[in-house]
């Protein structure tokens, strides 16, 4: 079994979401225009601002996917669920 086939789908999905959040705003040809305007703002400005919010959402989804996989992995290995943090004395 190769290392590539051992990667879980959640990691692939998280990676694709993160790549999209970085690459799409860099494709200048998608937003190098003035029309359509939204509340008087040229397309360039509101499109870039829209990607700020989309990126925040995709990063949040990616984080949740990765953390869920990490919790599953730790549980399957019989590791503690995170209460072994330094300074945590329960």
Say how far residue 66 (Cα) sits from the centre of its chain. Answer: 9
Q: How many CB atoms lie within 10 A of CB 45?
A: 13
| Confidence band, pLDDT 50/70/90 cuts, at residue 71 | confident
Q: Is the peptide bond before 17 cis (omega within 30 degrees of 0)?
A: no
pLDDT at 90: 46
| Helix pair 9-23, 43-76: axis angle to 10 deg | 160
Q: What is the pLDDT of residues 23-67, one digit of tens each?
A: 988 888 877 777 787 788 888 888 888 899 999 999 999 999 888
Question: Could you tell me the two tokens for 12?
Answer: 């692939």
Q: Please write the tens of the pLDDT for every residue from 2-15.
A: 555 556 788 888 88
Q: What pLDDT is recorded for position 56?
A: 94
């Amino acid at each position: 079994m190769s290392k590539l086939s051992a990667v879980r789908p959640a990691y692939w999905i998280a990676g694709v979401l993160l790549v999209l959040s970085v690459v799409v705003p860099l494709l200048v040809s998608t937003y190098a225009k003035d029309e359509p305007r939204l509340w008087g703002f040229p397309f360039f400005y509101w499109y870039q601002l829209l990607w700020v919010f989309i990126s925040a959402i995709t990063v949040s989804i990616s984080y949740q996917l990765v953390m869920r996989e990490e919790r599953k992995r730790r549980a399957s290995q019989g590791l503690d669920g995170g209460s072994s943090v330094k300074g945590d004395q329960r």
